[in-house]
Amino acid sequence: MKNIKLTVQYNGKNYPGWQSQPGTLGIEGEIERAYFTLFSEKIKIHGSGRTDSGVHALGQVCNFHTERDLDPVRLPKALNCKLPKDVSVVDAEEVAPDFHSRYHAKGKCYRYLMYNSLYRNPVMSGISYQVKFNLDFEKMRSEMEKLKGRHDFSTFMSAKSSVKTTTREIYDIRLEQRENIIVLEIEGSGFLYNMVRIIVGTLVDIGRGRITDSMEEIIASKDRGKAGHTAPAWGLYLKEVYY
């Protein structure tokens, strides 16, 4: 029995998310199907976590067990031949039998891509969030610094969620801007449901002057209503999972 870890990229546009839904395959289902097509073996893919419908990944991680004496080196190319063009396996390696991509994840890095212009960009649309407002990047940077560290992030959680604890640690958060392209990257121990998208929406609302509360106040309020809008799924990328 081998335990294989895969690193996967995908464009989430045409999927219900990482997880399969009744009648529709998610990314995990596509990989299971591609594998079955190749080897006639049913595997169960365990992802590092779900991504929502429309969310992309540059480095989602998953693992599965197989009875086959598989050479992981050839696996990405073989799977990619059977996978739809919007899913790509970019790495495969054998890992310890007890490795689990979700339970052993120590943290994650998300990237959020924005395009800052009054007018849509036909190349960036669908893979970035078009922000039409002038943004005060200095203000956004100074407020976002306060997100770093260990906090109760319940302000930045969608109501749908039920979790044991809403405390998470943000290791780092970076905002880069060049021409009209804005890239925000955020690394943390873990993220609540919609947390990254609500943080981005809040920073945009701060940047355009719609929110004037300080980030300390917003965090301390534990009130979703104090945070900004939920930025759309199509700007979000799961960039990396740390182990």
Pick the closer one to a copy of itself by CB: 197 or 239.
Answer: 239
Residues in a beta bridge with 61: 7
The residue range among 47-55, 117-125, 138-146, 199-207 that interacts with a copy of itself, by the rule CB under 8 A, is 117-125
**Residue 163 within binding range of a copy of itself, rule CB under 8 A:** no
Please give the residues from 2 up to 61 whose contact with a copy of itself meets the rule CB under 8 A: 9-11, 56, 58
CA–CA separation, 12 vs 79, rounded Å? 18
Report the relative pairing of strands 181-188 and 56-66 from DSSP bridges.
unpaired
Active site residue 52: yes
User: How many residues sit in the footprint of a copy of itself (CB under 8 A)?
Assistant: 24
- Among residues 130 and 155, whose Cβ is nearest to a copy of itself? 130
The amino acid occupying position 59 is G
Residues written for the chain: 243
Residue selected from 88, 166, 177, 221 as contacting a copy of itself according to rule CB under 8 A: 88
- Strand ranges in the chain using DSSP code E only, listed in sequence order: 2-10, 46-47, 56-66, 87-95, 107-116, 129-131, 149-152, 167-178, 181-188, 236-242
Binding site residues, a copy of itself, CB under 8 A: 9-11, 56, 58, 76-77, 80, 85-90, 117-123, 125, 127, 237
